[in-house]
Amino acid sequence: MVRPLQENVYSIKKKAGLAYKKLNLHLQTHRIFIFFLTKKMAGKSTYIQYLMETFPKKFINLSFGETVRNLQEEICLNKNKAVRKWSRELITDLEKSSVSNLLSLPSVKTIFKNLLVDLPPDKSVLFDGIPRKLNQIPLVIKKSHQLGNQGYRVIFLEIDVANEILDARLESRRICPKCGFTDNILTPVLENISFNNKTKEFYLVCPKCGIPLIRKMGDQLSPAIYKRRQEFEKIAKELKKRVCKEQSSKITYIRMRTDIPVNKFQENQESLNLITEYSKDKKGRISAKKKPQTATWQGKPVYSLNAPTATARIIQKLAATIF
């Protein structure tokens, strides 16, 4: 079962320790602007949610991708109204845009600039969504200097984890085709499990509709997924190089991992991402047990840290950078 949000927040504060107290005090009088840089399924949305809950009223979240989706919906609902607000070039670009067909640089500039207008003077910012292409890096660097001049401490936070873990997270997501209820067969919210005798596979059942959950559309591993990861690695490497070259006291690049070598792990299993393993006996009774999620990184076995532990380490990294 998933732990209540407030229980996880308490765990984050406890694990982060002094770093949480120092950062919480710092955010009362200072502003930071964090660019989240992650691969798909690396947990970015969860970490952002936990940071906002751990430091209530201290952060706002700005998502470039969500903004684009909202604009696309706005165009679909009332294109005439959108034309009065945005250029025809931008609208045409938005209509053609998709995961595989990214926006042009001029469109990215327009949306990015508009997104950062009138930021609240008493809030720090958790930002995600760009850069998604190498040609967007100069735009982000330039804006970072402007934000620094406005009083923000700008931090690029790259969060990485073994690709094997990302693969497992992607392939284990499930959704009800009728009501849209979502779950994950590795970390189920409700252990409502059944077994398909034909396919010899375990599957989750929707608690509302009573029908099997299916894989989410687009969650199959594909060459496009691997290509996107490779592109991310190139962008992150180049961005880090550019930030280090700037040598600005107002702009910092942090790289961290949310997995840990098995031979270096010294905490208890409560810090790990525990996945569910199912089995069926001769009488057809299904049982489930939890075990740490493991993967291989650089030829060595690693554990996957759970989201509260990873968030606590993010806070520690931020505190170590700022103070």
pLDDT tens string 218-231: 777 778 889 999 99
Q: Is residue 157 one of the residues assigned to a domain?
A: yes
Can you tell me the distance from the alpha carbon of 63 to that of 126, in angstroms, rounded to the nearest whole number?
8
Q: Is residue 86 one of the residues assigned to a domain?
A: no
Q: Is residue 67 one of the residues assigned to a domain?
A: no
Instruction: Return the minimum-mean-pLDDT range out of 39-48, 125-134, 180-189.
Output: 180-189
Count: domains in the chain: 1
Domain that holds residue 50: 5-58+123-322
Can you tell me the distance from the alpha carbon of 201 to that of 219, in angstroms, rounded to the nearest whole number?
18
Outline where DSSP puts E strands in 29-188: 31-38, 59-63, 124-128, 152-160, 173-175, 182-184
pLDDT (tens digit per residue) in 20-56:
999 999 999 999 999 999 999 999 999 999 999 999 9
- Nearest Cα residue to 310 out of 25, 33, 15: 15
Band of pLDDT at residue 301, cut at 50, 70 and 90: very high
The residue assigned the tokens 């991992």 is: 257
Can you tell me the distance from the alpha carbon of 179 to that of 8, in angstroms, rounded to the nearest whole number?
28
Q: Is residue 98 one of the residues assigned to a domain?
A: no
Q: Provide the whole-model pTM.
A: 0.92
Kindly tell me if the per-residue pLDDT of 100 is higher than 80.
no
Question: In what order do the strands lie in the sheet containing 251-257?
Answer: 59-63, 124-128, 31-38, 152-160, 251-257
pLDDT (tens digit per residue) in 189-239:
777 899 999 999 999 999 999 999 999 877 777 788 899 999 999 999 999
Sign for the CA dihedral angle at 309, 170, 222, 37 comes to negative
- Whole-number pLDDT of residue 224: 85
Q: Is residue 64 one of the residues assigned to a domain?
A: no
- Whole-number pLDDT of residue 247: 85
Q: Is residue 73 one of the residues assigned to a domain?
A: no
Q: Find all residues with CB under 8 Å of 234, minimum gap 6, and list them.
A: 134
CATH of the domain at 26: 3.40.50
Q: Is residue 37 one of the residues assigned to a domain?
A: yes
Band of pLDDT at residue 303, cut at 50, 70 and 90: very high
* Average pLDDT across the chain, whole number: 94
Q: Find all residues with CB under 8 Å of 302, minimum gap 6, and list them.
A: 162, 259, 260, 261, 262, 294, 295, 296
Can you tell me the distance from the alpha carbon of 177 to that of 71, in angstroms, rounded to the nearest whole number?
27
Please, is 14 exposed, middle or buried when counting C-beta atoms within 10 Å of its C-beta (0-12, 13-18, 19+)? exposed
Q: Is residue 91 one of the residues assigned to a domain?
A: no
Residues facing residue 260 across a β-bridge: 303
CB of 102 closer than 8 Å to CB of 133: yes
Kindly tell me if the per-residue pLDDT of 1 is higher than 60.
no
Instruction: Return the minimum-mean-pLDDT range out of 46-50, 95-99, 158-162, 232-236.
Output: 95-99
CB of 154 closer than 8 Å to CB of 61: no
Q: Find all residues with CB under 8 Å of 75, minimum gap 6, and list them.
A: 82, 91, 94, 95
Cα angle, residue 42 at apex, residues 22 and 25 outer, rounded to 5°: 10
